A = this chain, B = another copy of it.
Amino acid sequence: MKPALGIDFGGTAVKLAVVDERGTIVAEDGFATAGLEGVPGWIAAVADAASRMGVNPAAMARSLAGIGVGVPGFVDFDRGFIHNLTNVPGWKAVGLAGLLRKRFGVPAVVDNDCNAMVLGECRYGVGKGYRHAVFLTLGTGVGGGILIDGRVFRGAHSMAGEIGHVPIDLHGVRTPTGRGGLEQYVGNRQIVRKARAALRGRRSSMPAMVGGDLRRLTPRHIAEAAAKGDAVAREVFDYVADCLATALAGVTYLLQPEAFIIGGGVAAAGPVLFGPLRKRLDDRLSPYFAERIKILPAKLGNRAGVVGAASLILRA
A interface list, Cβ under 8 A from B: 74, 83, 131-132, 144, 146, 148, 153-163, 165-171, 176-181, 242-243, 246-247, 249-251, 253-258, 283-286, 288-289, 292
Please tell me if the beta carbons of A170 and B254 are within 8 angstroms of each other in the complex. Answer: no
Q: Could you jot down 9 A-B contacts, CB within 8 Å?
A: A156-B258, A160-B253, A165-B286, A167-B168, A167-B246, A169-B171, A177-B286, A178-B285, A179-B249
Please tell me if the beta carbons of B254 and A251 are within 8 angstroms of each other in the complex. Answer: yes
Instruction: Give the 3 A-B CB pairs with smallest separation, nearest first.
Output: A155-B256, A162-B253, A178-B284
Please tell me if the beta carbons of A255 and B155 are within 8 angstroms of each other in the complex. Answer: yes
Please, which residues of chain B bring their CB within 8 A of the CB of A179?
A: 246, 249, 283-284
Of B132, B166, B256, B258, the contact of A253 (CB 8 Å cutoff): B166
Counting every copy of the chain, the complex holds: 2
Q: How far is the CB of A111 from chain B (nearest CB, A)?
A: 14
Please, which residues of chain B bring their CB within 8 A of the CB of A163?
A: 253-254
Please tell me if the beta carbons of B148 and A132 are within 8 angstroms of each other in the complex. Answer: no
Please, which residues of chain B bring their CB within 8 A of the CB of A258?
A: 156
In the bound complex, CA of A242 to CA of B179 (Å): 11
Please tell me if the beta carbons of B160 and A250 are within 8 angstroms of each other in the complex. Answer: no
Please tell me if the beta carbons of A159 and B246 are within 8 angstroms of each other in the complex. Answer: no
Please tell me if the beta carbons of A288 and B155 are within 8 angstroms of each other in the complex. Answer: no
Of B158, B160, B257, the contact of A155 (CB 8 Å cutoff): B257
In the bound complex, CA of A246 to CA of B135 (Å): 22
From A177, A257, A258, name the one whose CB has the most chain B CB atoms within 10 angstroms. A177
Please tell me if the beta carbons of B132 and A249 are within 8 angstroms of each other in the complex. Answer: no
Please tell me if the beta carbons of B285 and A254 are within 8 angstroms of each other in the complex. Answer: no
Please tell me if the beta carbons of B253 and A254 are within 8 angstroms of each other in the complex. Answer: no
Please tell me if the beta carbons of B160 and A243 are within 8 angstroms of each other in the complex. Answer: no
In the bound complex, CA of A160 to CA of B251 (Å): 9
Contacts A132-B155, A146-B255 given; 4 further ones with Cβ under 8 A?
A156-B256, A167-B246, A167-B250, A178-B283
In the bound complex, CA of A247 to CA of B251 (Å): 11
From A74, A163, A255, name the one whose CB has the most chain B CB atoms within 10 angstroms. A255
In the bound complex, CA of A255 to CA of B181 (Å): 15
In the bound complex, CA of A167 to CA of B289 (Å): 14
Please, which residues of chain B bring their CB within 8 A of the CB of A286?
A: 165, 176-178
Please tell me if the beta carbons of A253 and B165 are within 8 angstroms of each other in the complex. Answer: yes
Chain B residue with Cβ nearest A181: B253
Q: How far is the CB of A172 from chain B (nearest CB, A)?
A: 9
With known contacts A171-B169, A178-B285, A160–B256 Cβ distance under 8 A = yes
